[in-house]
Structure 1
Amino acid sequence: MKRINLFTVFLFLSTMTIAQTAPPADLGSIQQNFKKLNTLGSVLYVAAHPDDENTRLLAYLAQEKHYRTGYLSLTRGDGGQNLIGNEQSELLGLIRTQELLAARKIDGAEQFFTRANDFGFSKGPEETLKIWDKEKVLGDVVWVIRKFRPDVIICRFPTTGEGGHGHHTSSAILAQEAFTAAADPSRYPEQLKYVKPWQAKRLLWNTFSFGSVNTTAADQFKIDVGTYNPTLGKSYGEIAAESRSNHKTQGFGAAKQRGEAFEYFKTILGEAPQNDLMEGVETTWKRVKDGESIGASIGIIRKNFDIEAPEKSVPALVTLLSKVEKTSDVYWREQKIKELSELIAACAGLWFESYSTEPTYAIGDSISVNTQVIVRSAVPVKIIRTSLLNYDSDYAPVAYANPGNISRNVLKFLNVKFKADEITQPYWLKFPHGIGSYNTGFLDETGFVEQKTLPQNLQETVYTDFNISNQVIEIGRPINYKFTDPVRGEVYQPLEITPPVTANIVNQDYIFNARQPQTVQVKLKSFTQASGDISIKPIAGWKISPEKIDFDGKTKNDEWTVAFTVTPTDNKPKTSQLEVVTTANGKLFSVGLRRIRYDHIPAITLFPPSVAKLVNIDLKTAGKKIGYIAGAGDLMPEALRQVGYDVHMLSESEIMNTDLSVYDAIITGVRAYNVNERLTYEQPKLMDYVKNGGNLVVQYNNNAGLVVKQIGPYPFRVVNQRVTDEDAAITILDQQNPVLNYPNKITQDDFKSWIQERGLYYVSDIDPQYKAVFQMNDKGEAPLNGALITGDYGKGRFVYTSLAFFRELPAGVPGAYRLFVNLLSKPGNAL
């Protein structure tokens, strides 16, 4: 017998990281896989963010042309908005990563990233590339090109700025430089320990028509990607809509498009195509030495394929596998062995998957993994062994159970066990990082270099060796946890490996306004038998009591809460970091637990640092009771409760039918006038509230898709203008405005230490009955005065603000607290 090793680590990871169970084995998938097996070409698409990719083109390239197709998103979209929840920054990046993977499962492409962090909107590539650290991110792009080896690279955006966002332009600049650098052995030579230089045939720009910007031209190379695929029963416009609609955080649900649809391309580097995207590239088996006979064999097998009995093709496919294994081109040999082995399993009716018996294990626990196997044809299949690939060590068998023949259509169970030795923290969040990029450099030193541009962690994988037609074929399945939900049915979620005990601090920020103590509560959860203690690291300028709290005899899933008293030791304004340290079973940990759950993506688990901010500020408040109208999702209510406000989330019934005058202020959440259609009907009641003496504070809205024609009592227009420099100078236009003087005197010091941006979607065409409070601008741009406007209406006050309070308050920015409290504090509403 001959034993064939199915995967190299990279080839396995680049595809299986998005898998939830066994790949589809229906006749349509088998036919598509035959076509892919006979195609040797690859295309890499490059852009800046999740949702930048052209899903219609990706689907066409992957499923019509059958090229190995990848999307390299330079960032994970951390700086974007969130229309379905209140997660921001890194948490949003985690969600958008999974949305991309969900999209790729539909359009058939693979997904990659660089270490670059989406730090928010950038107006130009100079700023972007400086913050990202251009050379490091360029190295990641070069790495992906050398690993993926694309014949053609396609950019979504040009280097000349028509893409608008500085990240967009930067993605094109980096792709253009990487096109040449990837082929140069003197560039990033440290990578050559793992990969070889690679020269793509051409670099193209996929020109576009977005709104008023049209970069397409009649003389550009074009492809009709509106083709209908009868095997799939869909056009690529339909597939693209399904793929793109996974970007739910961005509100990108898309209508299905049918009929011809052209994509246009401009050649940036390399030979310009005249008639075909792959012109000058051999994409058949002629590409490899002695490959013509393999291509011929595939043609014969396809011609003789019996849709009523796919298993009849198995002997010929196994013979073909032995030929493919002898080809000299390592890259295509390993890629095609993977594809062919799965095709053999599908034709043989061989289905199997691996899943843990429990959803969560702690470090040191023994993890029990079941593998279910069934053969639903007459093809004789025998299990030789099951084993585990652990990425901390060389490939080695861990355990065996119940090998032997498999009876037709009889489910067989196998089992392997291994020891949990590392928490399942997303690899790019394991170490602290700066504003511009994640810290993934450690991967080179720890042997995880293969992982550094992949969408998520390397998964523990169970491999099973099958004897099929006297060939031993090894196929792997990633380990997930499987359970049955009474509503959703069978559900797969990633396996969680945790510390023995996690410690979640109840609040993200603790705001101190005097030398009065506050109670800091910590919620602990054990995931195994544990004993130890919990403490807060000493902090200069703060007194903490008690020094530590012991715990003993905790068992799996125990939860308990402890409390510390924290007191500032002087009245000086300051911001400090509080860190909780847990000693469990003799080892130190300082992480909490965060789970993110949405139905359209797999469950996400991470272990954020167990830290909080202590902010000692000079803050006066006036008014107490706040009504809050939810928008697209933010953390403002929690932040306001931290400084003593009674925040009540208002329902439509309460807005329409109750006395709103009991509220000292009413706030609308971010983008409320974009996402809350009921505000069309609630708006008159809110205007009456202001007219009768109320104080309405409206936070920023997008200029597209407003549900009302006029947000305030007098006209103004929301426009796509912003100030992205969080340190941009502030000019005060209306020094006597109450929002600058009551109850806190606002000065330039209050604009220090802001994060990500000053504000977004400012207003213009401001009615004279409003007063503009500030003027500001990014470097080299005209001043903007639409960040904050106030206007008296009847007995009350209307405030519209585009300042990014929704970022600043949850981050504990002192001056932002002082200013926002002033917006809520209409003179006469004193406590």
Structure 2
Amino acid sequence: MKRILPVTLVLFLVCQTAFSQTSPPSDIGTIRQNLKKLNILGSVLYIAAHPDDENTRLLGYLAQEKHYRTGYLSLTRGDGGQNLIGTEQGELLGLIRTQELLAARRTDGAEQFFSRANDFGFSKNPEETLNFWDKDKVLGDMVWVIRKFRPDVMICRFPTTGEGGHGNHTASAILAQEAFSAAADPKRYPEQLKYVGVWQAKRLLWNTFNFGNTNTTSPDQFKINVGGYNAILGKSYGEIAAESRSNHKTQGFGSAKQRGDAFEYFKTILGDAPKTDLMDGVDVSWNRIPFGMPIATQLAAITKAFNDDEPQASVPALVKLLNEVDQTVATNKAFQTVRLTEVANSSYDYWHKQKTKELKDLIAQCAGLWFEAYSNEPSYALGDKIAETAQVYTPNNLSISSLTINNGATAVKVDNADGKSLGPNKLQTFNLEPKTADKISQPYWLESPHGIGSYTINDEQKVGNPENPDAPAVNFKFTIAGKEIAYERRLIFKYVDPARGEIYQPLEIAPPVTANIAEKVYIYNNTQPQTVQVKLKSFTNASGSISIKPVAGWKISPEKIDFTGKNKGDEWTVAFNVTPTSNKPNTSNLEVIATANGKAFSQGLLNIKYNHVPAITIFPPAQAKLVNIDLKTAGKKIGYIAGAGDLVPDALREVGYDVHQLTENEIINGDLSVYDAIVTGVRAYNVNERLAYEQPRLLEYVRNGGNLVVQYNNNNGLVTKQIGPYPFTVVNQRVTEEDAKITFTDPQNAVLNYPNKITGADFNDWIQERGLYFVSSIDSQYSTPLQMNDTGMEPNKGALIVTNFGKGRFVYTSLAFFRELPAGVPGAYRLFINLLSKPKN
């Protein structure tokens, strides 16, 4: 099965986003919640396949009500889905959905983890999924996360028996069952044991569900009422869940807030079944570790004495507690003996590390400490020096005797025995010694080319992390009440926007020069040369050259283009002529090499900016596809009605069409007869409510001789059910095997013959799927020229329907042209152009 591989698309969106500050919140509600969490030593890991699969109400309840350490392991980053708000597909969509998940977790209080699995698209069975994911590697990732996170309870969103529908869903449950046991087996993935110990969770549960037409709950199942109200947060868990889920904007999962009782049901898959509580048989108090109860006693006293008006008054007691936690580990010989003889499942070291971090954060929150680190510019080139600034605010008159700030290049120390220069109500700014930018800020799972089903990860210890764990950071070490307490803050860039105020965004470390090719795909249907434009941007002062690697079957001129004296921030464009050397069909990859200051790089620059997620910058391969095909076109002018977002208009322009985005006024009042065809974008009848009112005008255009091509729509949320001149029904049926056999049921149909003769070869090399959301209950007025099916499924004629109406033609297609055209699939171009080309009578 072929799927979309690394993306070279260059996209600059106009929106800009505020990146949340790196200092955590320190409001009284947060402090109160964290005090409660400090007293709970229990953890739950939720497991499913995709972003948006997670049960946000349950996660919020477990994290904010029960105060368990709660995590969500999404095996994929949602790369294969559709995008309701933009044109990003594949790994670009996965980048956005990663940030949507992180935003959801900031809302519901859980943590986020991933495996290396790539969401290659819809799968009808787990066998296909596990084959493309590389089962052993993805299972190893799950075992790694389990051994690091050490959940007492694991919960699956889906069963192994298929009720979840999607093959990825079922596969996630199958893998969870195997990982439950494998994580406890020292013979499984023994290479991990250099860094983590084996771990056996108490139980694995399936969180049964009742949605759609599937109800897997039953009265005899263990259940929890998660519909309560959190007085400290001032919200019910149904409200928290809706706010969390509404972060999944690319999926269109904005949710209404719910209040009142809500029960979650569970079926035990492995381990002991719970009887009265999710954590039955698990001691989640400090008593679960040796010599832990004195800590619980002191924590109870601190909580009782806590004053909302003076949270800083609790700092000395919290520091004392932190001291005693550390001393227990360092000096208690009795425990040392226990630790050496206890089974490998010992929780003490794990919980010491976890609770120490929580205690340190709580001390900073109660103290009102605020400290961050910034780069002085938004981007730097690899090898250049990063100018850095740190700021520290100490609002209270606490006993902070010293502060050391270390960025890895140098340390700045403030030694202040009387505490005056570090408070109260004092902000200090420190200019740090510049540090060398030693690594491009590429997401770790995109550093190397990857296959269809999984990403290539160069450092196995990074597995599970939602973002780069080694991003540049600055260390802050405070001496508070006589104890040194260390913190880390990620290095970011901050600036002030006149309209929006203070804006945070991640620091970019780029290649010295990036090269963006103007088009992703260049389509040739003769031996005439085309101009390939390359936009360059310098991130440092540079001289060098730009060239295109020689490509067999193609002539490239000139061989290279030199540049000198470019300064940081300079942008310029160069052009190459690329010509096929024969008329034979040929598909090749074009790669641009930017040599700067003696070193060669082949990376572009891509920025994705939406208001609901942090700014995303990656450096994709500087590559494009050259496709020489036998392609005939008819007509020239296309009207396009935007849908949820796709790149089909750009693909049509690439082969010479004049594509105009139609407005409502033009549809209602304009002369539509000037268009050889009108095309609706993917899911247009789901997202454009005005189409319900524009539809009569579009059908009138067809009746008068026009050619209307409607691309796929989701069966849920159609703005009108009368999309065509005769009835049909959009249904949730698809063919996911992109190499599924195609049968021509109406071989003489014009869409298979004019202006290109379509053969079986035109369905070679398709990616990800044949089509989705096919149609059924098709009126007899329509012809159905194609038939296809996945292995073991009944033949389906609902991918393409065509009818003459009046003087014109209406076409509805569920074929995945929105994926195939941007990927440069030759046969997809030939067939789609046929759909646009109504023969002259």
Indicate yes or no: 2:683 matched with 1:671.
yes
Report the TM-score, using the length of structure 1 for normalisation.
Answer: 0.95
In the alignment, the residues of structure 1 paired with residue 756 and residue 720 of structure 2 have an alpha-carbon distance, to the nearest angstrom, of 33
Structure 1 unaligned residues grouped into runs of 5+? 1-17, 389-395
Counterpart in 2 of 1:15?
none
Indicate yes or no: 2:442 matched with 1:431.
no
- CA displacement at 1:356 relative to structure 2: 1.3
- CA displacement at 1:288 relative to structure 2: 1.0
1:636-715 equivalent positions in 2, closer than 5 A: 636-715=648-727
Counterpart in 2 of 1:131?
132
Q: Deviations over 1:354-387 (max 9, x none)?
A: 1211111111111122221111122132333111
Counterpart in 2 of 1:611?
623
1:323-338 equivalent positions in 2, closer than 5 A: 323-328=324-329, 329-338=348-357
Q: Contact 2:118–2:452 (CA<8 Å) still a contact in 1?
A: yes
Secondary structure in 2 aligned to 1:723? coil
Counterpart in 2 of 1:414?
430
Counterpart in 1 of 2:830?
818
In the alignment, the residues of structure 2 paired with residue 415 and residue 762 of structure 1 have an alpha-carbon distance, to the nearest angstrom, of 61
In the alignment, the residues of structure 1 paired with residue 802 and residue 736 of structure 2 have an alpha-carbon distance, to the nearest angstrom, of 22
1:377-388 equivalent positions in 2, closer than 5 A: 377-388=396-407
Letter in 2 for 1:520: V
Q: Contact 1:305–1:313 (CA<8 Å) still a contact in 2?
A: yes
Which moves more between the two structures, 72-81 or 820-829?
A: 820-829
In the alignment, the residues of structure 2 paired with residue 711 and residue 486 of structure 1 have an alpha-carbon distance, to the nearest angstrom, of 45
Q: Contact 1:503–1:591 (CA<8 Å) still a contact in 2?
A: yes
Q: Percent identical across equivalent pairs?
A: 70
Counterpart in 2 of 1:558?
570
Q: Give the direction of change, closer, same or farther, for the CA distance of 1:122–1:327 in structure 2 (3 Å limit).
A: farther
- CA displacement at 1:715 relative to structure 2: 0.3
Secondary structure in 2 aligned to 1:79? coil
1:132-147 equivalent positions in 2, closer than 5 A: 132-147=133-148
Secondary structure in 2 aligned to 1:712? coil
Counterpart in 1 of 2:48?
47
Q: Contact 1:788–1:799 (CA<8 Å) still a contact in 2?
A: yes
Q: Deviations over 1:697-722 (max 9, x none)?
A: 00000000000121000000000000
Match of 1:347 among 366, 372, 375: 366
Letter in 2 for 1:113: F
Q: Deviations over 1:227-285 (max 9, x none)?
A: 10000000111011111000000000000010011100000000000000011111010
Indicate yes or no: 2:467 matched with 1:453.
no
Where relative contact order (Cα < 8 A, 6+ residues apart) is larger, the structure is: 2
Report the TM-score, using the length of structure 2 for normalisation.
Answer: 0.94
Secondary structure in 2 aligned to 1:172? helix
In the alignment, the residues of structure 1 paired with residue 402 and residue 840 of structure 2 have an alpha-carbon distance, to the nearest angstrom, of 80
Counterpart in 2 of 1:38?
39
1:455-534 equivalent positions in 2, closer than 5 A: 455-458=466-469, 459-534=471-546
1:93-172 equivalent positions in 2, closer than 5 A: 93-172=94-173
In the alignment, the residues of structure 2 paired with residue 600 and residue 403 of structure 1 have an alpha-carbon distance, to the nearest angstrom, of 41
Q: Give the direction of change, closer, same or farther, for the CA distance of 1:500–1:397 in structure 2 (3 Å limit).
A: closer
Q: Give the direction of change, closer, same or farther, for the CA distance of 1:19–1:453 in structure 2 (3 Å limit).
A: farther
Secondary structure in 2 aligned to 1:749? helix
Which moves more between the two structures, 371-380 or 399-408?
A: 399-408
Indicate yes or no: 2:813 matched with 1:801.
yes
Q: Contact 1:402–1:413 (CA<8 Å) still a contact in 2?
A: no
- CA displacement at 1:753 relative to structure 2: 0.3
In the alignment, the residues of structure 2 paired with residue 87 and residue 345 of structure 1 have an alpha-carbon distance, to the nearest angstrom, of 40
In the alignment, the residues of structure 2 paired with residue 584 and residue 310 of structure 1 have an alpha-carbon distance, to the nearest angstrom, of 54
Letter in 1 for 2:87: N
Which moves more between the two structures, 509-518 or 324-333?
A: 324-333
- What is the aligned length? 799
Letter in 2 for 1:337: T
Q: Contact 1:594–1:608 (CA<8 Å) still a contact in 2?
A: yes
1:50-61 equivalent positions in 2, closer than 5 A: 50-61=51-62
Structure 2 unaligned residues grouped into runs of 5+? 1-18, 330-347
- CA displacement at 1:532 relative to structure 2: 0.3
Secondary structure in 2 aligned to 1:372? strand
Letter in 2 for 1:667: V
- CA displacement at 1:415 relative to structure 2: 3.1
Which moves more between the two structures, 461-470 or 400-409?
A: 400-409
- CA displacement at 1:566 relative to structure 2: 0.4
In the alignment, the residues of structure 2 paired with residue 370 and residue 324 of structure 1 have an alpha-carbon distance, to the nearest angstrom, of 33
Q: Contact 1:532–1:583 (CA<8 Å) still a contact in 2?
A: yes
Indicate yes or no: 2:384 matched with 1:365.
yes
Q: Deviations over 1:43-67 (max 9, x none)?
A: 0000000000000000111111111
Counterpart in 2 of 1:771?
783
Which moves more between the two structures, 460-469 or 640-649?
A: 460-469
In the alignment, the residues of structure 1 paired with residue 597 and residue 40 of structure 2 have an alpha-carbon distance, to the nearest angstrom, of 54
Q: Contact 1:58–1:109 (CA<8 Å) still a contact in 2?
A: yes
Q: Contact 2:397–2:423 (CA<8 Å) still a contact in 1?
A: no
Letter in 2 for 1:652: E
1:61-80 equivalent positions in 2, closer than 5 A: 61-80=62-81
Secondary structure in 2 aligned to 1:83? coil
Letter in 2 for 1:387: N
Letter in 1 for 2:365: A
Secondary structure in 2 aligned to 1:411? strand
- CA displacement at 1:397 relative to structure 2: 6.0
- CA displacement at 1:19 relative to structure 2: 6.8
In the alignment, the residues of structure 2 paired with residue 37 and residue 401 of structure 1 have an alpha-carbon distance, to the nearest angstrom, of 31
Q: Contact 1:403–1:414 (CA<8 Å) still a contact in 2?
A: no
Letter in 2 for 1:369: E
- CA displacement at 1:403 relative to structure 2: 5.5
Which moves more between the two structures, 286-295 or 402-411?
A: 402-411
- CA displacement at 1:398 relative to structure 2: 2.8
Counterpart in 2 of 1:311?
312
Counterpart in 1 of 2:840?
828
- CA displacement at 1:220 relative to structure 2: 0.6
Indicate yes or no: 2:584 matched with 1:572.
yes
- CA displacement at 1:401 relative to structure 2: 5.9
Secondary structure in 2 aligned to 1:700? coil
Counterpart in 1 of 2:337?
none
Secondary structure in 2 aligned to 1:482? strand
In the alignment, the residues of structure 1 paired with residue 523 and residue 746 of structure 2 have an alpha-carbon distance, to the nearest angstrom, of 28
Q: Contact 2:409–2:435 (CA<8 Å) still a contact in 1?
A: no
What is the root-mean-square deviation of aligned Cα atoms in Å? 1.1
Q: Give the direction of change, closer, same or farther, for the CA distance of 1:87–1:496 in structure 2 (3 Å limit).
A: same
In the alignment, the residues of structure 1 paired with residue 368 and residue 734 of structure 2 have an alpha-carbon distance, to the nearest angstrom, of 57
Match of 2:602 among 590, 613, 619: 590
Counterpart in 2 of 1:290?
291
In the alignment, the residues of structure 1 paired with residue 732 and residue 311 of structure 2 have an alpha-carbon distance, to the nearest angstrom, of 57
Q: Contact 1:383–1:464 (CA<8 Å) still a contact in 2?
A: no
